[in-house]
Amino acid sequence: MKFEVLNKDSRTRARRGRLRLAHGTVETPVFMPVGTQATVKGMTVAQLQSLSVQILLCNSYHLMLRPGSETISRLGGLHGFMRWDRPILTDSGGYQVFSLNKFRKVSEDGVAFQSHLDGTAYALTPENSMDLQVALGADIIMPLDDCLAYPATEDSAMESMRRSMRWAARCSTRLRELAPSGQNLFGIVQGGVYPGLRKESAERLIEIGFPGYAIGGLAVGEPNALMYDVIDQLEPHLPEDHPRYLMGVGTPDDLIECVARGVDMFDCVMPTRHARNGWLFTADGHIVIKHAEYKDDPRPIDESCRCPVCRDHSRAYLRHLFMAGEILASVLNTIHNLYFYLDTMDRIRQFIEFRRFDELLAKVRNKQ
């Protein structure tokens, strides 16, 4: 993996970079659509490629449960299984274990849990989380971490963070033993909303040594202003010459605000999940397509949008599809929302290159 910073904004900490991975080059800042079960719901690989998706996120937890890493490995890893020839990032599955399973037991060794599908017992450890992700064959893989809900006391956040750091060291050791080709393990900074713990976490990860650093444990219910503050205080403690990945964030405005704070990579289910629920993003905010006001509306979702949905279809038609429960509603809504997010990132990169990012940031803040 190679990462280089090409441009820096003089008024913020925004960076324009380039990340070279085994399956292609990623221009940053970048948004990664979430393909939880080796698919972005409602989208074909060809459709994702037509939208210029650079890199996908897939979920190790769900793929471990079905169809299983052994099956995927036999079929050429995720790239061969999906027929996707661009980069992939997999998360460790830790977040899903903690969020989807009521019956789980955390120990120093890892976490024991029951499948949310059929109750089968599983154990996820730092070591087998690496085995799992190496079998999946993603370009970027993530260590098992202890995910904490918000709010949490400082003592709880400290215990969780330090356990995550010990697990990160074990993940790093296991990956060196496996020595896979073209796979890169990022560290995940934890520590809740406590700046001192975040600093300690970053320092411990840097001592271990990773090619990239993720910011985990945010966008879990805390106010946006608090999230921004945590990133502000953490950023000086992250290496400038390594990519920074903010996990699970967020709205289009969040992306711009967090790029201003030095973040390079993002993922979030929001554009695709909201699309399936009829919530569509526009330059002027959002619309909920099921509302009766759109029944006879001949306009596109967003008159300034150049996506194929806005080019070819009216709000009235999209509302009809949604109200009729047609599968096509989810497909078209997803195409639009993903295009909107990817276009937002493209504009962010251009504004940084032209040294005008502060103008884009000011527009966001003037709306608030």
| Tens-digit pLDDT profile for residues 33-60 | 999 999 999 999 999 999 999 999 999 9
**Which residue out of 91, 145, 264, 302 is catalytically annotated?**
91
Residue 191: Cβ-neighbour burial (10 angstroms; 0-12, 13-18, 19+): buried
Contact predicate 55/88, CB 8 Å: yes
| Catalytic annotation present for 91 | yes
The predicted model scores a pTM of: 0.97
**Which residue out of 9, 145, 146, 267 is catalytically annotated?**
267
Contact predicate 332/339, CB 8 Å: no
According to the model, what pLDDT value does residue 368 have?
72
Q: How many residues comprise the chain?
A: 368
According to the model, what pLDDT value does residue 367 have?
85
Query: Nearest 5°: phi and psi at 239?
Result: -60, 135
Strand partners, 141: 90, 185
Q: Model confidence over 213-265: pLDDT tens digits?
A: 999 999 999 999 999 999 999 999 999 999 999 999 999 999 999 999 999 99
Whole-Å CA distances, 270 to 254, 289, 338: 12, 16, 10
According to the model, what pLDDT value does residue 307 have?
98
Q: Which domains does the chain have, with CATH numbers?
A: 2-268 (3.20.20.105), 278-368 (no CATH)
Q: For residue 150, what are its two tokens? A: 């918000």
Contact predicate 185/171, CB 8 Å: yes
Average pLDDT across the chain, whole number: 97
According to the model, what pLDDT value does residue 115 have?
92
| pLDDT tens per residue across all 368 residues of the chain | 999 999 999 999 999 999 999 999 999 999 999 999 999 999 999 999 999 999 999 999 999 999 999 999 999 999 999 999 999 999 998 889 888 878 899 999 999 999 999 999 999 999 999 999 999 999 999 999 999 989 999 999 999 999 999 999 999 999 999 999 999 999 999 999 999 999 999 999 999 999 999 999 999 999 999 999 999 999 999 999 999 999 999 999 999 999 999 999 999 999 999 999 999 999 999 999 999 999 999 999 999 999 999 999 999 999 999 999 999 999 999 999 999 999 999 999 999 999 999 999 999 999 87
- Residue 329's SS3 state is helix
According to the model, what pLDDT value does residue 45 have?
98
Q: For residue 256, what are its two tokens? A: 């711009």
Sequence-distant (≥ 6) Cβ neighbours of residue 364 within 8 angstroms: 253, 256, 257
